[in-house]
Amino acid sequence: MRTFPLISRICGAAVLGAALLFGGATAPALAGVGHVCSTALPPEAHDTLDLIEAGGPYPYPQDGGTFYNREGLLPDQETGYYHEYTVETPGSRDRGARRIVTGESYQEDYYTADHYASFRLVDYGC
C-alpha cells in the first residue's frame, strides 16, 4: 500500500523540480542505478504499477512492506522511504526475483529483475 497519496508525490516532484531549477538542491545520487523506459518493462511490471496506484490488493503479504536498501544501491533515505512490490515471474514457483521498489517522490519507481542486485529507475517520459 502506498503510504503517500498521489498528490504528495506530485507536490514532491514540484519541490524537487523547483529546487533543481533554482539551484537549491541536486538530483538524488543515482550512482549504479540505470534507467529503463516504462514501455520496455515486462507486462507484469505494469500490472504491479497499476496495483500500487490503486492501493492494492496485492498478491503477496510482503507487498507494500518497507524496503531497507541494505544493498546501498538506491539513494540513501530514512527507513520507511522505500517500499517493495512483487512483479510476477511467469513459470516461477515462488515470488521470483522481479520487484518494483517505490520511493516517496512522484514517479520514483525502480525496477529490479535480479532480486536487488541492480536497479533501474523507470522513465515515464519515453
Q: Which of the following is catalytic: 44, 71, 84, 88? A: 84
CB 99 within 8 A of CB 117: no
For residue 72 the three cell numbers come to: 546501498
Which of 19, 33, 94, 16 is closest to 69 using CA atoms? 33
CA distance 111 to 105: 15
Does the active-site annotation cover 78? no
- Cβ distance 71 to 116 under 8 Å? yes
Query: Is 84 annotated as catalytic?
Result: yes
Q: What is the DSSP letter of 52?
A: H
For the annotated catalytic residues, the residue numbers are 84, 115
